[in-house]
Chain A
Amino acid sequence: MTFEQIIFYFFSTILISGALGVVLVRNPVYAALFLILSFFTSSAIWLMLEAEFLGITLVLVYVGAVMVLFLFVIMMLDINMDPLREGFVKMMPLAALVAIIIAAEIVLVMASPSFNFDQSVVHAADYSNTKAIGNILYTEYVYPFEIAAVILVVAIIAAIALTLRRRKGVKHQNPSKQIRTKRNDRVRLVKMPSSSTQNRAGE
């Protein structure tokens, strides 16, 4: 076993246990933390594959931004996980059985000759993964890249359309409205007939 293989198995063991942890632990915050662990280890594996750019992006974007946001949400919402886990134990054996069979089948396929690659591609020392991506991202892959951008825009539109709402009954100030207000909006002069009051006073 080469040194590389030892490192690979080390990280992959952590990756798989981390992924299992995401599914299995009861506490959602722990689950999110396990997910971060999985991201870290998979980024390490990517680094081993000389995909530095992707590995770093994974850490920066997912761990640095997405997961932190995710943790905020989980903590702010304070979801009671117990009802969601109802029947977990009941379903567990069946689910596990199916999962194990599928996993076994995939392993079986992976062990078959089709996945028997002799050697991975080795690059020269000055090879830069980042540069390679930069070279093709806006040339060869410009079309999918733009579409990915459109997908993100749609995600933004969707998020805003689904969440932006003006709640009724919430007391908040609108400064621009306050500034633009005029005297007539606030004060109303009402002419009252004075005779009736005088009559009453006279009685």
Chain B
Amino acid sequence: MENIYLAIPLSALFGSILAGLFGRQLGRMLSHTVTILGVALACVLSLVVFNHIVLDGNTYNGAVYTWAVIEGIQFEIGFLIDNLTAMMMVVVTFVSLMVHIYTIAYMHDDPGYQRFFSYISLFTFSMLMLVMSNNFLQLFFGWEAVGLVSYLLIGFWFKKDTAIFANMKAFLVNRVGDFGFLLGIAAIYVHFGTLDYVEVFKQVPNLLDVTVTVIPGEEWSLMTLIAILLFIGAMGKSAQVPLHVWLPDSMEGPTPISALIHAATMVTAGIFMVSRMSPIFEVSDTALSVVMIIGAITAFFMGLIGIIQNDIKRVVAYSTLSQLGYMTVALGASAYSAGLFHLMTHAFFKALLFLAAGSVIIAMHHEQDIRKMGGLKKYMPITYWTSLIGSLALIGFPGFAGFFSKDSIVESVHASNLAGAEFAYWMVLLGVFVTAFYSFRMFFLVFHGKERMDEHTRSHLKESPLTVTIPLIALAIPSVIAGYFIDPIVVGDFFKGVVFVDPAHTAIAELKEGYHGVFSFMLHGIMAPPFWLAMSGLGLAWYIYLKNDALAHFAYNKFRWMHTILDKKYGMDSFNQVVFAGGAIALGKLLWRVGDRFLIDGLIVNGSAKAVGFFSGILRRIQTGYMYHYAFSMILGVLVILTWFIFGSKG
């Protein structure tokens, strides 16, 4: 099996290298063939691994290669393959494969065709390295590598100013998160003396009472500190408030990567990481509360912004933010299995929604404003039906995948007894309404109602080619049925031995108690408030946008202040722009003038360079070219050594 584990990321890497370095020689056709074959192989092998690990009940933890040994600490590349990893591998490779196929049509006319395939394969490799890691070093490598590819892909159209701005923003904001993450890893390295997951988890109980002093006079629990630092990393990658600002802008990148990276896989890395680190998080209630509250804020407030967005991709992006918030809340409530379950279902239906949005964008000739769409149902039947499935899954309509995962999150938050659980519960509950409202607002505006596009576009409207619709259909299937895995994953023993839950945190246990099979869960769901909230959101959207659009204007005029707040995204972007970006630039200018120009350039760099150059000029004269000078220097060497030995060693 070891070879298979190794082959999975390497086959993706191999495709990426071929397409990246030899793309020009290979041509378009061969480039996409090798990358797709690489990822397809990875996908098939992942299924094999899933079968071996999950169904046959094995786990694997071993080092593949020792990179370096420093002071007895091994820095290794190694794999930890258990149920969690196997699930992530299947999700990553499957979605990636779908996106690869979809890209053939979507990027058809782009000059950077081969480059794009190389990047997405490279992303698949990095993401696999991240999830398969058995130590923090490799985790960090994967973490940074997916960040790098994300940066490259957001700025894929590097001639577009907004794309460059967006990728810079993503890069910088992630840097903040990574800084916390790195500090967390450093703290683990210092206090645990190892970077291996299993070793670290083994030592957690011994270090429960350790406190550290960060600010003089304040003693903090080490475990809380580590957990929060790691979570800061997760906040950056999984776009939690206040480090979420990069994700909506990342929609400047091509749609396939929005689906792959910024919806299905990379942004869930934070969720994955926190679940992986559950033994650390579980020992700190403070950290869990922080996680839950941050998640709840993200889930509700980011959903609200989605309501007023008019760019089709941005609506989906804000919906992603809100759903990530749901997952985070679940982590905070110690319902890791629910969070991870939502991660999986969300990967399918959100990728589906993004790819469907992409399909619409292709048909509309890269017009992304939903106010200029409408009535697309009759032109694009496949896109319509798959979008409907995706939207129903997203709002948690009973029977669809999202219903099971979201309901279990809501239930477990309800059952949680941590500080802030009450607040979180209300947030996620209201979030359900908001989700339904913005999802179907977009859905109705795009597919129903009047055809608001111009004549030229309308005449060219047609269903997208097969390479687009096949991935849509392939993703629609799990969007419906994945929910039925709730049985093993959430209430079953799927994550037993992988995710550690403190017995004091009873959320998931209570959920299990109240669970009596899929159908009773559905029946119970229909009676519960989330369903009615979702239905009312859907209904309101239907009424406002299809029946009585005067109401929208009325509301707009009445609550303009609210619209303004949402439109400004609570002022966070402006705040960042003015305070952080502006402040950094001002500080940079100051340092540049005083520090760089005067001190470093003037004195240290040029000064020392001049000094070294001066000495160099003098010293080179030793090399006279005369042999007897050379011989004489050797003799002097003899003299010094002899004298040292005879007189030096005695004293």
Which residue on B lies nearest to A106, using beta carbons? B642
Which residue on B lies nearest to A101, using beta carbons? B639
State the CA gap A98–B636 with chains docked (Å).
7
Q: What is the interface of chain B, defined by CB distance below 8 A to chain A?
A: 628, 632, 635-636, 638-639, 642-643, 646
Q: Is A102 part of the binding interface, using a Cβ–Cβ cutoff of 8 Å?
A: yes
What residues of A have a CB within 8 angstroms of the CB of B642 in the complex? 102, 105-106
Distance from A82 Cβ to chain B, minimum over Cβ atoms (Å):
16
Given contacts A98-B635, A102-B639, A106-B642, 7 further A-B contacts (CB under 8 A): A91-B628, A98-B636, A98-B639, A102-B638, A105-B639, A105-B642, A109-B646
Q: Is A151 part of the binding interface, using a Cβ–Cβ cutoff of 8 Å?
A: no
Which 9 interchain pairs have the tightest Cβ spacing?
A105-B642, A105-B646, A102-B639, A98-B639, A98-B635, A101-B639, A102-B642, A102-B638, A108-B646
Distance from A115 Cβ to chain B, minimum over Cβ atoms (Å):
14
Q: Determine whether the beta carbon of B635 is less than 8 Å from that of A102.
A: yes
State the CA gap A96–B541 with chains docked (Å).
105
State the CA gap A114–B639 with chains docked (Å).
21
Distance from B106 Cβ to chain A, minimum over Cβ atoms (Å):
68
State the CA gap A105–B640 with chains docked (Å).
11
What residues of B have a CB within 8 angstroms of the CB of A25 in the complex? none
Distance from B650 Cβ to chain A, minimum over Cβ atoms (Å):
11
What residues of B have a CB within 8 angstroms of the CB of A109 in the complex? 646
Q: Is A95 part of the binding interface, using a Cβ–Cβ cutoff of 8 Å?
A: yes
Q: What is the interface of chain A, defined by CB distance below 8 A to chain B?
A: 91, 95, 98, 101-102, 105-106, 108-109
State the CA gap A108–B628 with chains docked (Å).
27
Q: Given contacts A101-B639, A102-B639, are A95 and B632 in contact (CB under 8 A)?
A: yes
Distance from B347 Cβ to chain A, minimum over Cβ atoms (Å):
71
What residues of A have a CB within 8 angstroms of the CB of B632 in the complex? 95, 98
Distance from A90 Cβ to chain B, minimum over Cβ atoms (Å):
12
State the CA gap A102–B635 with chains docked (Å).
9
What residues of A have a CB within 8 angstroms of the CB of B646 in the complex? 105, 108-109
Contact of A105 among B628, B635, B636, B643 (CB under 8 A): B643
Q: Is the interface of B mostly helix, strand, loop or mixed?
A: helix
- A–B complex contacts, Cβ < 8 Å, 6 sampled: A98-B632, A98-B639, A102-B638, A102-B639, A102-B642, A105-B642
State the CA gap A95–B629 with chains docked (Å).
11
State the CA gap A25–B632 with chains docked (Å).
20
State the CA gap A106–B329 with chains docked (Å).
83
Q: Give the tally of cross-chain contacts (CB within 8 A).
A: 19
What residues of A have a CB within 8 angstroms of the CB of B635 in the complex? 98, 102
Distance from A21 Cβ to chain B, minimum over Cβ atoms (Å):
20
Distance from A165 Cβ to chain B, minimum over Cβ atoms (Å):
25
Distance from B624 Cβ to chain A, minimum over Cβ atoms (Å):
12
Distance from B627 Cβ to chain A, minimum over Cβ atoms (Å):
11
Which residue on B lies nearest to A84, using beta carbons? B628
Distance from B446 Cβ to chain A, minimum over Cβ atoms (Å):
85
What residues of A have a CB within 8 angstroms of the CB of B638 in the complex? 102
What residues of B have a CB within 8 angstroms of the CB of A91 in the complex? 628
Which residue on A lies nearest to B629, using beta carbons? A91
State the CA gap A54–B639 with chains docked (Å).
32
State the CA gap A98–B639 with chains docked (Å).
7
Distance from A93 Cβ to chain B, minimum over Cβ atoms (Å):
13
State the CA gap A108–B643 with chains docked (Å).
11
State the CA gap A91–B643 with chains docked (Å).
22
State the CA gap A97–B236 with chains docked (Å).
72
State the CA gap A102–B640 with chains docked (Å).
9
Which residue on A lies nearest to B636, using beta carbons? A98
Which residue on A lies nearest to B635, using beta carbons? A98
What residues of A have a CB within 8 angstroms of the CB of B636 in the complex? 98
Which residue on B lies nearest to A95, using beta carbons? B632
State the CA gap A109–B650 with chains docked (Å).
13
What residues of B have a CB within 8 angstroms of the CB of A106 in the complex? 642
State the CA gap A95–B643 with chains docked (Å).
16
State the CA gap A101–B641 with chains docked (Å).
12
Which residue on B lies nearest to A94, using beta carbons? B632
Distance from B643 Cβ to chain A, minimum over Cβ atoms (Å):
7
State the CA gap A154–B628 with chains docked (Å).
27
Distance from A84 Cβ to chain B, minimum over Cβ atoms (Å):
10
What residues of A have a CB within 8 angstroms of the CB of B643 in the complex? 101, 105
State the CA gap A101–B646 with chains docked (Å).
12
What residues of B have a CB within 8 angstroms of the CB of A102 in the complex? 635, 638-639, 642
State the CA gap A98–B643 with chains docked (Å).
11
Distance from B568 Cβ to chain A, minimum over Cβ atoms (Å):
83
Distance from B101 Cβ to chain A, minimum over Cβ atoms (Å):
67
State the CA gap A102–B638 with chains docked (Å).
8
What residues of A have a CB within 8 angstroms of the CB of B628 in the complex? 91
Distance from A134 Cβ to chain B, minimum over Cβ atoms (Å):
37
State the CA gap A101–B635 with chains docked (Å).
11
Distance from A83 Cβ to chain B, minimum over Cβ atoms (Å):
13
Which residue on B lies nearest to A102, using beta carbons? B639
State the CA gap A106–B638 with chains docked (Å).
11
Distance from A24 Cβ to chain B, minimum over Cβ atoms (Å):
15
Distance from B618 Cβ to chain A, minimum over Cβ atoms (Å):
20
What residues of B have a CB within 8 angstroms of the CB of A95 in the complex? 632
State the CA gap A89–B635 with chains docked (Å).
19
Distance from A43 Cβ to chain B, minimum over Cβ atoms (Å):
28
Distance from A88 Cβ to chain B, minimum over Cβ atoms (Å):
10
Distance from B636 Cβ to chain A, minimum over Cβ atoms (Å):
7
Output the residue of B636, B643, B646 with the most chain A CB within 10 A: B646
What residues of B have a CB within 8 angstroms of the CB of A105 in the complex? 639, 642-643, 646
Which residue on A lies nearest to B638, using beta carbons? A102
State the CA gap A98–B634 with chains docked (Å).
12
Distance from A87 Cβ to chain B, minimum over Cβ atoms (Å):
9
What residues of B have a CB within 8 angstroms of the CB of A108 in the complex? 646
State the CA gap A120–B435 with chains docked (Å).
105
State the CA gap A96–B638 with chains docked (Å).
15
State the CA gap A109–B647 with chains docked (Å).
11
State the CA gap A95–B642 with chains docked (Å).
16
Output the residue of B638, B642, B643 with the most chain A CB within 10 A: B642
What residues of B have a CB within 8 angstroms of the CB of A98 in the complex? 632, 635-636, 639
State the CA gap A98–B638 with chains docked (Å).
10
Which residue on B lies nearest to A88, using beta carbons? B628
